[in-house]
Amino acid sequence: MTRQSPTARHPKKTSRDDSRRWNLLATLQTVAASGATSRADIARATGLTKASVSSIVAELLDEGLIHEIGTAPSDGGGKPPTLLAIHPRGRDIVAVDLSRRPIRAALVGLGGPIHHRVSAPEPGVTGPAALDAALELVARCLDRAEAPVLGIGVGTPGMLDPDGTVIEATNLDWHGVAVGAELARRFGLPVSVGNDAHVSALAEMRSHPRDSLLLVKIGQGIGSGLVLNGVLHTGDRFVAGEIGHVVVDRDGAICRCGNRGCLETVASVPAIVERAAGVKDPDLPWDAMALAARFGEATVREAIDVAGRAIGEMLATAAALLDVTHIVIASDLANSSEAIVDAVERSLTAGIHPSSVGHIEVTAASARSDLVLAGAVAMVLRDELGVVLR
C-alpha cells in the first residue's frame, strides 16, 4: 500500500504544526465515528479545550470537510448545541478497481456513496492498454468531480513495491508497471496504490470497525488482507497475505507459478468452476447458480466444498498463530458466499483447538462487487486525512 505525492515534500514540520494536525485528525475522527456531534462532545471525547475545539472546528468547516446539520435538544435550558457531521460531498475521491474484468473506476464522496461509475469498454485489456484504460477511466471520473479531489486510490491484483509499482500481476500482464507514479504525473493528485485483497480488508474495517480481521479474497487467484490492531499488515516485503501459492496438495495440479497443488489450483474461482464443470472453459460464468443449472447443484456444491475445505485448513493455522477472531470471505463467484462461508467454517472449526470453537466468526464480505472500490476509497482517506471514516 503506497502513496505517491506529486508535490515536493514539505520541510520538516515544527512540533506545533504536528500537534495542530494531530488535534485536527482527532476531531475529524470523532465527528466521523459519532455521525453527528457537538463541539462540547468533541471536547469531551478528545480532551481538548473548548477554545481549541472551536478553532479546529472552524478550520474544518472552512475546509469543507465537515458541515453543520442542525441542533441537538438543549441540555438544561441553554442554547441548543449545533451538530457537526462529515460533509458527504466535502471532497471527491477517484477509486479504481483493476481486479475485475472489465476494469472499473468510480467517483466517490466522503460520505461513501458512489456518484459516478465508469468501466473500460473492453473486458480483457492487458499490458500497456490496461494502463491507458485506467488513465482514461480516472480522467472521466475527474471530469464529473463536484468537489476538490482528495486523491486517487487504486486496488490492483498482484505484488506491489512500496512506490506503487506493480511488480507482477499476471492477470493484467503487468511486470514492473509504475501505475502510482504514472497517475500522479498525469493528474497531479496524490495517489495511493494497494493490493486488491489488502484494500478489501480496509473496506471491511470501514463498514464493520474491529480491532483485527483477516479477509480472504477468492477471485482469479487467492489473496488475503490482514488488519491487526487497526493497522493493515503489509509485511517486510509488502506481500503479506499472498496465500494463493502456498502448496496444499503436493500431488495436485501444476500451478501457473510452476509448483504443484497451490491453494489457487484448488480454491480460486477458475478452479471451482473447472471442478464443477469437469472441463476448463474460460467462458463459463462466474456464477454458482448458473453453473448449478447447467451441471447440477450437487456437483457445484462439491466443488465449493473442496475449495472451502482447503481455505479453512489454512485459516486454522492463521487463526491459531494470530488469534484473529473475525474472518471475512470475499468471493467473486456470484451466488456462492453462503456455501463458501459454510464450508470454510466447518473446515476451520475441525482444525482448531476445541476451546477456540465458537470464538471465531466467519462472514461474507459486505460490499460484494464494490469491495475493492470501497477499499481504494478507505486507503485514500487513511493516507490523506489519516482517518477511517464510517
Instruction: Select 29 or 268, whichever has its Cβ closest to Zn ion.
Output: 268
Residue 125 phi/psi, 5-degree rounding, is -70, 140
Q: Name the minimum Å distance from CB 262 to Zn ion.
A: 3
* Interacting residues of 27 by C-beta distance below 8 A, sequence separation 6+: 42, 46, 48, 53, 56, 57, 60
Cell of 282: 474460460
Considering only 116, 208, 233, 245, the residue that binds Zn ion (CB under 5 A) is 245
Least distance from C-beta 371 to Zn ion, angstroms? 24
362 binds Zn ion (CB under 5 A): no
Residues 135-194 contacting Zn ion, CB under 5 A: none
What grid cell was written down for 221? 487467484
What letter represents residue 187's amino acid? F
- Please identify which residue in 95, 216, 218, 255 interacts with Zn ion, judged by CB under 5 A: 255
Which of 265, 337 has the CB closer to Zn ion? Answer: 265
Q: Among 33, 36, 61, 257, indicate the residue that binds Zn ion (CB under 5 A).
A: 257
Q: Which of 110, 154, 262, 371 binds Zn ion (CB under 5 A)?
A: 262
User: Whose CA is closest to 213, among 378, 362, 45, 26?
Assistant: 362
C-beta of residue 13 within 8 angstroms of C-beta of residue 19? no
Identify which of residues 222 and 330 has a Cβ nearer to Zn ion in the complex.
222
Q: List C-alpha distances in Å: 24 to 35, 132, 133.
A: 17, 38, 37
Residues in the chain: 390
- Under a CB-based contact definition with an 8 Å cutoff, are residues 80 and 73 in contact? yes
Show the site string, 194-233: x = touches Zn ion by CB under 5 A, - = not.
----------------------------------------
Residue (140 or 245) nearer to Zn ion, CB: 245
Give the range of 39-47, 215-223, 242-250, 372-380 binding Zn ion by CB under 5 A: 242-250
Residues contacting Zn ion: total by CB under 5 A: 5
Q: State the first-to-last Cα distance of the chain, in angstroms, to the nearest integer.
A: 20
- Residues 262 and 239: beta-carbon distance below 8 Å: no
* Adjacent-strand bridge partners of 156: 195
Residues of this chain that interact with Zn ion (CB under 5 A) are 245, 255, 257, 259, 262
